[in-house]
Structure 1
Amino acid sequence: MAINRPYGGPTELPRAIPLFPLEGALLLPRCQMPLNIFEPRYLAMVDAALAGERVIGLIQPIPALVTTANPALQNVGCVGRITEFAESGDGRYLVTLTGITRFRVVAEVEADTPFRQGEVDYTAFEGDFTPGYGAEEVDRATLLRTLAAYLDANKLEADWSSITEAPNEALVNALAMMSPFGAREKQALLEAASLAARADMLVAVTEMAMARTGGAEGEGSLQ
């Protein structure tokens, strides 16, 4: 998905951004995430984003604390730009976020908005602004071999022509985002130090999942 506002580095993004806590959600740079927004405070968040910089910080709550109204948040999230927006007609917003870069939360901002806001720092993730950064270090063969084994064990289908044609960055990040793993694994994939490290972690958690279950976890398709 094209983005009308390219970002060349940390200084081009606001330091204070809306925070959208969403357990088990993983957004990565140059990837897209559709969101169905219906809670009043998050409808207000989208309104504010559209009126301003059009960016929202997607971040996971800490798993043990998600039962509280305002749970503690992980230290690292990913900021995305609203690149698609529609009203549903029944009070919901249908939004697509396109990932820009990861961020680290410095502090939450005291604000009179119904949604949470954070002061964030992007400098640890400057490589996120460069498409394909570190892609040549990815062990693509091992990643594809592990994916094939997982699909075969679970009787899943995939569009292999699209998979084989995808560049390393798009392949690794798309597989990480659609992976069926829990919140902790998704956070680890987000915080991976490099694209190659994310690919290696994806291989490791997939192999561990297959070892625990004997390979099979269900039937369906992976598009």
Structure 2
Amino acid sequence: MTSEIERVKAELPRLPIFPLPGIVLLPGTQIPLHVFEPRYRRLVRDCSRGPGVLGLASIPEGEEGVGDKARKPRILPVLGAGVLARVERLPDGRSNILVRGVLRARVEREHESAEPYRLVEAVALPDESADADAARADSLRRLVFALCTAQRTSASAALAQIVGRASLPSELADVVAGAVIEDPYERQTILETLSVSRRLIRVERAVSPLFFLATGCPESLSASCPTGSVAAGNFNLGLALQPSSPQCRVIQTLDGGPADGDVAATPSTQAVTLCSGPDPADGGPIVYLAVQNRSLRQSPLAPDGNFTFTTTSTNVTGTVCNCPVDIQETITGVLAPATPGASQLGPDGGLTPAVASVSGALVDALSVTTGGTGCLCNLPCNLTYQLTGTRQ
């Protein structure tokens, strides 16, 4: 990596850039791209024949002229500089490339260039390290390993391997952010955060809600419907963090100093399956929430489509709160029908009318496990998310 850093730094005075909306390259992460425009085909060709260094610059949301080849859309000044890790040339001149991030850089000015692609002068941005970085990195590493243990998927196994290879706190923050943070704005914020401690904290806040969602189900299950029920549809479940009272906050640092930070951020979209069937006890309609590698949640379903899922987990460790916590999770919401009508079971146990979407709220109520010590959060407290499910 040291040789790659020096190689990239040597090219920063005239760095070719690939401006893209919604793309952020973090050090230590990789981004695949399909290159089809002639100017960027030329960029890839020139990079391949030279040192193989380029920058991925993010075009801000709402910027005009992104698709206009005659204009130069504005780019954010902090970008990810990296190397071509792989180039797959296609017969028609297009190519598939893999760019590996090496360092952060800030654009100082843009060069006038005869090349069809843009060239900038950039300077490397060094990490700002502190004594507390190692302890904060250990906390993030424990949280990620706990998440991977709870999920038990191939993706989480790969993440655990990546985390195990990260030797420096700064490297750990970047590779975890690259794996779990999808939102371009949040990724750009991580890229622009030079303080390693603040970067680690932001990444912890992104991982924490994923962990809280996973802890209600330590056993590994597939996202399949239980016996006696049928699938009501597959949905993409989005969660947006909302204010709550009392809102969970980090109020103390590991060394005992005061702090004021978020416990969680908005997690990535999750794929879920809704199932329905008769209650074995009374035949009434039951709706199930099935998520891969999560325990199955179930709730009676009211005629107006309302439901409530409740799960409780005790002695949960590995969270940003740094102490064992009990988590009571409550999901309340409503199934919106595709056509007007009360929700009911059909002859096969399926729902009629069909479900078009899901909306509601998820609340994680956190409290200290009996006998727990060393808490960094204002327990007891709540994390509240707005829930939106769109049909796949």
Relative to structure 1, is the Cα distance of residues 163 and 46 closer, same or farther in structure 2, using a 3 angstrom cutoff?
A: closer
Distance 1:201 1:214 in 2: 11
Paired position in structure 2 for 1:16: 14
Three-state SS of the structure 2 residue aligned to 1:7 is helix
What are the Cα deviations for residues 97-119 of structure 1, in whole angstroms up to 9, with x where unaligned?
22222111111111122211111
1:73-222 to 2 correspondences below 5 Å: 73-122=75-124, 124-125=125-126, 127=127, 136-142=134-140, 144-145=142-143, 148=146, 158-159=156-157, 161-162=160-161, 165-167=164-166, 168-206=169-207, 211-212=241-242, 217-219=269-271
**Number of positions where the alignment pairs a residue of Structure 1 with one of Structure 2:** 211
Which amino acid in 1 is paired with 2:99? L
Residue 93 of structure 1 aligns with an amino acid whose one-letter code is: S
Whether the aligned pair in 1 keeps the contact of 2:180 and 2:268 (CA below 8 Å) is no
3-state SS of paired residue (1:78) = strand
Of residues 49, 52, 55, the one that matches 1:51 is 49
* 1:204 counterpart letter in structure 2: R
Contact between 2:27 and 2:171, CA under 8 Å: does it hold in 1?
no
Give the SS at the match of 1:64.
coil
Moved over 4 A (4+): 146-153, 205-210, 212-216
Relative to structure 1, is the Cα distance of residues 89 and 169 closer, same or farther in structure 2, using a 3 angstrom cutoff?
farther
Consecutive unaligned residues in structure 2, runs of 5 or more: 210-238, 243-264, 273-291, 293-392
Aligned 8 A contact 1:150 1:210 in 2:
no
Is residue 17–residue 120 contact of structure 1 (8 Å, CA) maintained in 2? yes
> CA offsets per residue over residues 19-74 of structure 1, 9 Å max, x none?
11122222222333222211211111111212333111111012121553332100
Q: Say which of 31, 34, 46 aligns to 1:33.
A: 31
The DSSP-based 3-state class of the residue aligned with 1:53 is coil
Is the 8 Å Cα contact of residues 19 and 58 (structure 2) preserved in structure 1? yes
Q: Given residue 191 of structure 1, which amino acid in structure 2 is its aligned partner?
A: E
Q: TM-score w.r.t. structure 2 length? A: 0.46
Identity, % of aligned pairs?
A: 22
Residues 37/75 of structure 1: CA separation in 2 closer, same or farther (3 Å cut): same
Change (3 A) 1:8 1:117: closer
C-alpha separation in 2, matches of 1:27 and 1:196: 20
Larger mean Cα displacement after TM superposition, 208-217 or 168-177 = 208-217
Question: What's the counterpart of residue 64 of structure 1?
Answer: 62
Unpaired runs of at least 5, structure 1: 129-133
8 Å CA contact retained: 1:81, 1:98: yes
User: CA, structure 1 residues 11+175, in 2 after alignment: closer, same or farther (shift >3 Å)?
Assistant: closer
CA distance in 1, matches of 2:178, 2:160: 19
Deviation (angstroms), 1:207: 5.2
* Greater C-alpha radius of gyration: 2
* Structure 1 position 215, deviation (Å): 6.9
Contact kept, 8 Å, 1:138 with 1:199, in 2: the verdict is yes
- Higher-strand-fraction structure: 2
The amino acid that maps onto 1:145 is: L
1:131 counterpart residue number? none
Comparing 34-43 with 174-183, greater Cα deviation is found at 174-183
- Closer, same or farther in 2 for the Cα pair 1:203/1:103, shift >3 Å? same
- Which letter does structure 2 place at the counterpart of 1:79? A
Shift of 1:9: 8.2
